[in-house]
Homo-oligomer: A and B are copies of this chain.
């Protein structure tokens, strides 16, 4: 089936650039030549050059930032959404720097759809926290957290730029017993993409975590929207 004798031009360009990247011609976060330069270098048109770039983007080798150009993607970090060790420390142990920025925090009513899913009454007030996380100064994910105020009243008065679960443990003696994870690729909606300095329609990885206590009561819903090339999800499961 299918011979593919002749490799398409855009794939040849892809191979050429991929080899250059592998050979270290550019380092992490370095900018590639402009599309018009590439067009000239490979004696082609911008459409074809962009097809090659889009392919490399899909593979995660390069990324683009707004209208500034194409850049070499740094290595993926490992990320275990089932653990609650501090994100910053966890990332640092892998040799990267990380930081967290709280974009918004407020008391809201839990959306009906989510209330039904987690088993809370519709209209229940919850804390909503919106954060952006950087790895090596590159914004890599937007995170939206809902917390059950019953368990951690007044938590919004603390600084939320650190480890949230450290805070919940030390100040409220909370401990999650069960975690339910959902993970799937999805495109980033406009606002999220914007906040990550990426383009609308960029592919992302959606991770959702629901934590409950020993009584099965809802503690936390965490929704994360990642640049797809920034991470590798790693989960260890030991049956009991």
A interface residues, Cβ below 8 angstroms from B: 1-2, 4, 11, 47, 55, 58-60, 76, 82, 176-187, 190, 194, 200-201, 203, 205, 228, 231-240
Q: With the chains together, A182 CA to B234 CA distance in Å?
A: 5
Q: With the chains together, A236 CA to B82 CA distance in Å?
A: 9
Greatest chain B CB density within 10 A among A2, A4, A194, A237 is at A237
Q: With the chains together, A226 CA to B239 CA distance in Å?
A: 25
Q: Shortest distance in angstroms between A94's beta carbon and chain B's nearest beta carbon?
A: 14
Contacts of A203 in B (CB 8 A): 58, 185, 203
Q: In the complex, are the beta carbons of A178 and B235 less than 8 A apart?
A: no
Q: Shortest distance in angstroms between A230's beta carbon and chain B's nearest beta carbon?
A: 10
Q: Shortest distance in angstroms between A107's beta carbon and chain B's nearest beta carbon?
A: 27
Q: Copies per complex?
A: 2
Q: In the complex, are the beta carbons of A185 and B185 less than 8 A apart?
A: yes
Q: With the chains together, A228 CA to B182 CA distance in Å?
A: 14
Contacts of A237 in B (CB 8 A): 82, 178-181, 235, 237
Contacts of A194 in B (CB 8 A): 1-2
Q: In the complex, are the beta carbons of A60 and B186 less than 8 A apart?
A: yes
Q: In the complex, are the beta carbons of B232 and A182 less than 8 A apart?
A: yes
Q: With the chains together, A1 CA to B2 CA distance in Å?
A: 47
- The 9 A-B pairs at the shortest CB distance, nearest first, are namely A183-B233, A82-B237, A181-B235, A185-B228, A184-B232, A185-B185, A240-B240, A179-B237, A59-B187
Contacts of A205 in B (CB 8 A): 184-185
For A203, give the chain B residue with the smallest CB separation.
B58
For A2, give the chain B residue with the smallest CB separation.
B194
A238/B178 contact (C-beta < 8 A), A184-B231, A190-B4 known: yes
Q: With the chains together, A141 CA to B181 CA distance in Å?
A: 21
For A193, give the chain B residue with the smallest CB separation.
B2
Q: In the complex, are the beta carbons of B4 and A186 less than 8 A apart?
A: no
Q: In the complex, are the beta carbons of A182 and B1 less than 8 A apart?
A: no
